[in-house]
Amino acid sequence: MNQLKKKGAYNIAIAGVTGAVGETFLRILEERNFPVANLIPLASSRSAGKKIIFKGVEYPVRELTHGSFEGVDIALFSAGGDRSKEFAPSAVKAGAVVVDNSSAFRMDPDVPLVVPEVNPQDVNKHKGIIANPNCTTIIMVVPLKPLHDYSKIKRAVVSSYQSTSGAGASGMQELINQTKAWTDGKEITVSAFAHQILFNIIPHVDSFTENGYTKEEMKMYNETRKIMGDDNIKVSATCVRVPVLSAHSESITVETERPISVEKARELFSNASGVKLVDEPANKMYPMPLFAAGQDLCYVGRIRKDISAENSLTFWVSGDQLRKGAATNAVQIAEILI
């Protein structure tokens, strides 16, 4: 097992530094004043030589290779599953601990899948690689945790409203480009998504599987059970792409072993780590991407009893996909490591 030595500052590599999550890694490390001794920015050969700025210092991007990790303490990966599978073992062999943002290792029984507000203890089980969960899963399990601790969750039904940031920088740019094209009376082109995203919603995130669910929806099913440490939790998800730049939202209905009143739920959410309660519908105050974008908390509101079932509660959550749904969660894991 790779164990980090305690020291004042650490050598940090970022694989995929020029992508949307990679750029957010840089912001989060700086905002949280993570003790970085040396930064090693890594990307594909086509991005090698580009310059990135970290804490006012300019760094040239290096090509990601098997020899990139000499002397590295922690490697933050967001370069896609294939590159994680290819290069993460080399990082571990060189002595680094990898925090991987792709789906490559999430369901590997030897790799902990961690959300620090939910299962921080699992960090210590790592054998060199720790997996960062899917963004929609993270935004859901942070508010599920306090409910589950109070009364075990038997079932969760969730519909996601996922921003274009979930498809990376190209997804966000496509929404911007389509907006400009529509405004200028030009033809709208489609490449990042299956259909036009402007003035539309697409009930299709990731590829479809044989059971009719998409891979994104099955990630929420499988990852939730692993993170929560409870294979009895059932999850049915419908994942939808919406024309929002940043921050995902989710409508969640949970069935619990014992009833949880709305008042108790508000109390649990108010005291939960990583959650911000915004639940004043009479004053038109409820979670929205507009509030959650750029933040690290999961905003929870619209809390109400599910009138269609016993022991059932419905609520709404919004969270920044690039931050808590990806980069912030990974950096929080790194903070536990040190």
For the chain, what are the domain ranges? 10-133+326-337, 137-321
Distance CA 217, CA 173 (A): 24
Q: Is residue 159 scored above 60 in pLDDT?
A: yes
Q: Is 298 a catalytic residue?
A: no
In this predicted structure, what is the pLDDT of residue 37?
97
Determine if the pTM surpasses 0.75: yes
In this predicted structure, what is the pLDDT of residue 237?
98
Distance CA 198, CA 15 (A): 31
Q: What is the pLDDT of residues 284-312, one digit of tens each?
A: 999 999 999 999 999 999 999 999 999 99
301 backbone dihedrals φ, ψ, rounded to 5° = -165, -165
Q: Is residue 6 scored above 90 in pLDDT?
A: no
CATH number of 10-133+326-337: 3.40.50.720
Residues 6+ apart with CB under 8 A from 267: none
In this predicted structure, what is the pLDDT of residue 5?
80
In this predicted structure, what is the pLDDT of residue 168?
84
- Compute how many other C-beta atoms are within 10 angstroms of the C-beta atom of residue 135: 27
Query: Sorting pLDDT into bands at 50, 70 and 90, what band is 2?
Result: low
Q: Are 17 and 42 in contact (CB under 8 A)?
A: yes
For the chain, the average pLDDT equals: 97
Catalytic residue among 126, 135, 148, 298: 135
Catalytic residue among 126, 148, 239, 248: 248
253 backbone dihedrals φ, ψ, rounded to 5° = -120, 125
| Both structure tokens of 145 | 């945790």
Q: Is 248 a catalytic residue?
A: yes
* Pick from 127, 172, 189: nearest CA to 1: 127
Query: At residue 331, what is the residue type?
Result: V
Distance CA 112, CA 91 (A): 17
DSSP 316-331: EEEE-TTIIIIIHHHH
Q: Are 227 and 115 in contact (CB under 8 A)?
A: yes
* Pick from 5, 7, 11, 8: nearest CA to 59: 11
Mean pLDDT for the stretch of residues 179-194: 98
Q: 137-321 belongs to which CATH class?
A: alpha beta
- Compute how many other C-beta atoms are within 10 angstroms of the C-beta atom of residue 119: 18
